[in-house]
Structure 1
Amino acid sequence: MAVDLGPLAFIDLAYIGSPVRALLSASGDEFRKDAGRGQPGLHDDPTGNPKGSEWGNTHAVKLRLMPEITKSDIDFIADVLVETGKSEIMPRFRRLSSVDTRRKSSAFDVVTEADEAAEDAIIACLSQRFGGAAFVGEESVEKEPGLFGALGSAPLAFVIDPLDGTRNFSAGVPLFGLMIAAVSNGKVIAGVIHDPVGGVTAHAVLGNGATLVDPGGSLRALQVAGSVPLSEMEGIAGTNFLPEPLRSRVNSNLSKVGTTNWFRCAAHEYVLAASGHCHFLFYNKLMPWDHAAGWLLHQEAGGYSAHFDGEPYRANRMTGGLLCAPDHQTWLSLREALLSE
Structure 2
Amino acid sequence: MIPDPDRVAQVIREIAARELVPKFITLTADEIGEKTPGDFVTAVDLAMEAALAKALVQLLPGSLVVGEEAVHDDRGLLAVLEGDEPVWVIDPLDGTGNFAQGLPIVAVIVALVIKGETVAGWIYDPLSDRMAMATHGAGAYLGDRRLKVARPAEDRSLNGSIYGRFVRQSEPYRRIWGQGRGRLGNVFNARCVGQEYLARLKGRMHFGVYTRLNPWDHAAGVLMHQEAGGVARMGDGSPYRPAERGHVCLLTPDEDLWQTMQQELILPALAEEARRTQK
Q: TM-score when scaled to structure 2?
A: 0.89
For 1:290, the equivalent position in structure 2 comes to 217
- Alpha-carbon distance, 1:251 to partner: 5.0
Deviation string, structure 1 residues 124-150 (Cα, Å, up to 9, x no partner): 111212120010001111122221011
* Aligned length in residues: 262
The one of 85, 93, 103 aligned to 2:24: 93
Give distance in 1, aligned partners of 2:155 and 2:111.
Answer: 31
| Residues 15 and 48, structure 2, Cα contact 8 Å, conserved in 1 | yes
Contact 1:230-1:258 within 8 A present in 2 as well: no
From 250, 253, 270, the counterpart of 1:326:
253
Alpha-carbon distance between aligned partners in 1 of 2:208 and 2:49, rounded to the nearest angstrom: 26
Q: Tell me: higher relative CO, structure 1 or 2? Use CA pairs within 8 A at least 6 residues apart.
A: 2
C-alpha distance after superposition, 1:18-71 (max 9, x if no partner) = xxxxxxxxxxxxxxxxxxxxxxxxxxxxxxxxxxxxxxxxxxxxxxxxx4x25x
- Does 2:174 correspond to 1:252? yes
* Pair 1:104 & 2:104 matched: no
1:166-177 aligned at under 5 Å gives the runs 166-177=96-107
Determine if the alignment matches structure 1 residue 189 to structure 2 residue 189: no
| Change in CA separation of 1:278 and 1:231 when aligned onto 2, cut-off 3 Å | same
Q: Larger C-alpha radius of gyration, 1 or 2?
A: 1
Distance change in 2, residues 1:235/1:247 (3 Å):
closer
> Structure 1 residues 264 and 251, CA, compared in 2 at 3 Å: closer, same or farther?
farther
Matched, 1:223 2:223: no
Corresponding position of 2:15: 84
> Once the 2 structures are TM-superposed, how far is the Cα of residue 309 of structure 1 from its aligned partner?
1.1
| Paired AA for residue 29 in structure 2 | S
Would you say the 8 A contact 1:236–1:262 is kept in 2? yes
TM-aligned CA deviation for residue 326 of structure 1? 0.9
1:163 counterpart (85, 93, 96): 93
SS in 2 for 1:191: strand
Deviation for aligned residue 1:254: 5.8
5 Å-filtered alignment, 1:36-51, equals none
Using the TM superposition, give the Cα deviation of residue 121 of structure 1 relative to its aligned residue in structure 2, in angstroms.
Answer: 0.6
Supply the distance in 2 between the matched residues of 1:299 and 1:253 (Cα, whole angstroms). Answer: 30
Note if contact 1:253-1:337 (Cα within 8 Å) is conserved in structure 2.
Answer: no
Of 285-294 and 145-154, the range deviating more from structure 2: 145-154
Deviates more, 1:256-265 or 1:282-291: 256-265
Quick one: which of 137, 148, 161 aligns to 1:236? 161
Counterpart position of 1:275: 202
Could you tell me whether the CA contact under 8 Å between 1:230 and 1:334 is conserved in 2? no
* 8 Å contact kept, 1:227–1:330: no
- 1:3-18 mapped onto 2 (5 Å cutoff): none
Name the structure 2 match of 1:336: 263
Length-normalised TM-score, structure 1: 0.73
Q: Could you say which residue in structure 2 is the equivalent of 1:35? A: none
Residue in structure 2 matched with residue 32 of structure 1 by the alignment: none
Please say if residues 254 and 260 of structure 1, whose CA atoms lie closer than 8 Å, have aligned partners that are also in contact. no
Cα separation, 1, equivalents of 2:69 and 2:176: 33
Q: Does 1:310 align with 2:231?
A: no
* Residues 230 and 238 (structure 1), Cα distance of their counterparts in 2 relative to 1, 3 Å cut: farther
Identity of aligned residues (%): 36
Displacement, 1:101? Answer: 1.3
1:206-228 deviation digits (Å, cap 9, x = unpaired): 00000001xxxxx1110001155
Question: What's the offset of the Cα at 1:238?
Answer: 2.2
Distance 2:36 2:73 in 1: 12
Alignment of 1:196-215 (within 5 A): 196-213=126-143
Partner of 1:124: 54
Cα distance per residue 1:241-266 (max 9 Å; x no partner): x34xx441165256221221221111
